[in-house]
Amino acid sequence: MCRPGYGTICTGACGPGVPATGEGTADAIKSTADFAKIGRINVIPDKDQRLREIYLDPVRLAYFLGIRQTVGEGHDQFVDDMYSTPDGSAIVVSRPSFADVVSIDIVTGNLNWRFPVSGYRSDHMAVSPDGSRVAVSASTANTVHVLDIRTGQQIGSFATGDKPHENVFTHDGAYIWNMSIGEVNNDFDDPSQDWLKGDRKITVVDGATFRQVNVIDMRQRLDAFGRKDMSDAVRPVAFTPDESKMYLQVSFFNGFFGYDVATDKITRMKTLPKNPATSDDRTTYVNDSRHHGMSMNPAGTRLCIAGTMDDYATVVDRATLQEGPLVTASKPYWATISGDGKARIISGSGADQVTAIDFGTGRKIASIPVGDHPQRVRLAHLPADWNGPAIG
């Protein structure tokens, strides 16, 4: 996935903060070295057709406008997540405002297939280690669909808690972990109103049969750790290389927790610095996120943290939990690793750029301008000579 000249990083633009008339794009940049921009793909080539369908259906229109006013912060959300196929011939994109997942041919820019999700909004995705399956959260239906990445046909699905969000395949593909975050679009954000946020839990299913094998209620684990004041809505997570430990972010918190998988206990907590300019009013946080975005280097020794509402990113030593330099970034909303594992890439959603930060020194390498409001950032396969779809 990361061999020279072939590994790239795709960043989806047109998440919250993109105007309703926005572009809906995915930018590809090099995954190492200078992180130069390679090309751009329009991920809503069927926009006019989709909008006609939506405006002719009063229920779909109500949800479409609801997404614009809530999670979209007044704007449409045309891209949330994306991955490439193993052969690099297509990218697969979840499009929340259109409540679907599509595969787009990187040469022609045309749709290969489209899968409408259950309910009215698609969200985070994950691809199996062998690249054959893609799991997508249908956030209003409390369902995860698992699709054949080549054909878009559904292989299976499973039920989750309220508002399924992040999906993670284990390294061997044997299990899928889903984190449901509950209701994030209301202002019941005071800890005393936490019960109004819905059923938030981690659902673990068999990766082949999609049968439930475990349900983890982080409320009980947080209480046992002595943090009844913390939200149990688990946001992004990062597993250690041996998958014995999981690090997780939760709503409203400027920091993260460490969870031991075998003992089923929270064992560590790290509080990261607050930005003095950040309001303590929880209702001002984007979709209940204080910090949203984390990844781990391949050696499992460093964590990359996106301090969303505090406008910085930092590298944390996993052994000591000591953070490195706070790299200024405008509302960073995701974090992933570079193709060679030496840097972390964050999406600066407030400045329309992605930034590469050295895992070793914790200092910025480069910032690259991309489309409006970059959302997810993923490693991808694209042909070495590709620079965008042909324009006919």
User: All domains of the chain, ordered by start, with CATH?
Assistant: 7-381 (2.130.10.10)
Quick check: 67 pLDDT over 90?
no
- Which amino acid is located at 56 in the chain? L
Quick check: 153 pLDDT over 80?
yes
The pLDDT score that the predictor gives to residue 390 is: 74
- Give the pair of three-digit tokens for residue 389: 């779809």
Q: Which of 10-14, 180-184, 200-204, 281-285 shows the lowest per-residue confidence on average (mean pLDDT)?
A: 10-14
The pLDDT score that the predictor gives to residue 313 is: 97
- List phi, psi (to 5°) of 55: -75, -15
Quick check: 68 pLDDT over 90?
no
Neighbours of 217 (CB within 10 A): 14
pLDDT band at 69 (very low <50, low <70, confident <90, very high): confident
Q: How far is the C-alpha of 311 from the C-alpha of 67, rounded, in Å?
A: 24
pLDDT digits (tens, 9 = 90+) for 1-21: 222 233 566 676 653 333 223
Residue 24, phi-psi category: left (phi > 0), alpha (psi -120 to 50), beta (remainder): left
Dmax (CA) for the chain in angstroms is 61
pLDDT digits (tens, 9 = 90+) for 71-83: 777 778 899 999 9
Average pLDDT on 84-93 reads 94
Residue 86 vs residues 155, 207, 289, 379: alpha-carbon distances, Å = 18, 19, 32, 11
Average pLDDT on 29-53 reads 93
> Edge to edge, what strands does the sheet with 143-148 contain?
122-127, 133-138, 143-148, 154-159
